[in-house]
Structures are given as C-alpha cells and as structure tokens.
Amino acid sequence: MPRKVILDVDPGIDDAVALAMALFDPRLEVLAVTASGGNVPPEQATANLQALVGFLDPPRLPRLGAAPTDTIRPEKPFNMHGSDGLGGIDLPQARLHGGTASEKVIWETFHAHPREVTFLALGPLTNLSRVLARDPAIVELIGEVVAAGGTAHGHGNATPVVDFNFYCDPRAARHVVREPLAKTLVPLETTGQVTFGFDLLDQLPAESSRAGALVRRMLPHAFRAYRQLLGTEGICLHDAVALVAVTNPELFDRATVAADVETGGELTAGMLVVDRRTVRQLRPNLDLLTGCDVEAVKDCILRGVATAGAGT
C-alpha cells in the first residue's frame, strides 16, 4: 500500500523538486500539500504551491492548504531562490481547489486517517505547531513526523549555528521537538552531504515533459546562486534528500537522541541542542539522521525526477 503523506512546504526551488518527485512516486499517496512562509512570504508560498501543482498536473490532486499570514517572518540572511522563490521562472498562476488554511487541512487529514499519515515538513514547523496548539490530543492521531531541520553539530546556514527552517520559527520547532510523538529530523549536515555538480543538468528529464520543463528552468538559477552567494560550484537539494529519508530510510544512519531547541538566545535562537552527556537530564525524544549513503540518495533523487518527467 502506498504510504500516506502530507507535504508541508515553503516553496523554494528544492521544495519544488521534492514536490514533483512526491506527486509522481507510486510508493506515496500525497493526501495534502500545505504551504507556510519561509523561503518566500506566506502569500507567495501559497501562490507558488498552487502554480506548481497546477503546472505539474499530477494524476491525483492532493488537498492544498494556504499559508498563515499572521506569522512573524525574520529577515532572511540571503536569498537563494530568486524573487519568486522558484528561480524567477514566472510559472503561470493557477487557482486550484484550496484556499483553506493549512492547519485546517492538516487537522482534517489526520482525523480522516488516524495514525496512518506521515507529516513531511520541508519548511518551518509553523503549521504543525499551530495544529498541535489548537488540538493537543491530535498527537495520538499522527503516524510520524519527518522534518528537514536542525543541525547535528551546530553548523548552520541562516546563522553560524542555526539552519534556515528552525531560524524562521524557533518556537514552533521547540514545540514540535518537545511533543510526545514519533519524529525524525534530517539535519542540515546530512542533507548537505548530497551535492550535485553541473552534470545534473544533463541528467534531467526532457523539457517536453512538465516536470522536465520545471526543473530545467529552475536549477540553473540554483547553480548561479550557490556560486555567487556561497562560492561553491555544486548545489544541495536539501528537501529532496528529506523526501528520500521517507521513501528509502534504509539509506540513512540513525541515532536516537535527547534534544531541545533554543528560543531565547540572541545568537542561537532556533539552534537544535542535543544532550550528549553521559548522564543526561533530557530523555531521548527523537531520531536524528546522522549520515547517508550519498551516491544511493543521489540516485534516488535522479530516478524520482525521471519518474516525475515520465508522468507528465
């Protein structure tokens, strides 16, 4: 049976790649895709999600959720994703079924499929935190949470010690990390192990397919941004790696750890703090993916994008 999932995204280039992969993966039943502010403001996140799903035209349309607009979004340290979040490719705007708040879509999906749904968070944990605050008892209905977020050793990208997703909403990250539910974090150091060079552009689906046209138009911007802003020739598709952690968990090294999230530090708000002491005061509360089979994960991403291209 396909694995039931909710994708929570702040679309972003790597979110778009992961979304294309997931919508055409026969191993997944994408029940809903919900938007949150992060890489782009909330209104742009919702518009991007609508445009992406409309453009990709998957065989089964998931429910779509609109990003909450009453959140405080911190200043971005740099913009890797272009003016529209998708590399400036100017996708045609789409008005699909939707407009329902993301947290309502998430709440209803968990209730419709109790203990069956994996929540894959590819952006800030704002939406899931709001659902848990609205209905704390819903933890009993959540199958699993897999989140792209945190840093295993304090090597951040938004600040020296904080990854971008936790930086955007530290309080939501702490809320979810502290909840008594099954959760796995795919930290920045692990997703960052998987890098692609320029040869990736030669391995993408043909532009005659919708998915091929999407990734071929977005990814050149990613290569330019990485070179200009980070000084590197390769790119990371962090959210695509997190998706592979759901579809192919056997490719990742896993450690059960005791962790919390700092919310008050002027320099460290959003930092994942792992208690590695011999005698811990914190109890183990999540699984941290500490490494991966890099070549196998890259192959999964390439095959996933190829499958999406074949489907459109």
Which positions are catalytic?
238
Residue 192, helix vs strand vs coil: coil
The DSSP call for residue 2 is P
Q: How far apart are CA 121 and CA 10, in angstroms?
A: 9
Query: What is the phi/psi pair of residue 16, to 5°?
Result: -65, -40
Q: Are strands 3-9 and 28-35 parallel, antiparallel or unpaired?
A: parallel
| Range list of H helices, the chain | 13-23, 42-56, 102-112, 126-134, 164-168, 170-178, 188-191, 210-225, 238-247, 294-310
Q: How far apart are CA 172 and CA 150, in angstroms?
A: 12
Measured from the Cβ of residue 91, the count of other Cβ atoms closer than 10 Å reads: 20
In angstroms, what CA-CA distances link 40 with 11, 22, 44, 174, 260?
A: 7, 21, 6, 22, 26
Q: How far apart are CA 131 and CA 136, in angstroms?
A: 8
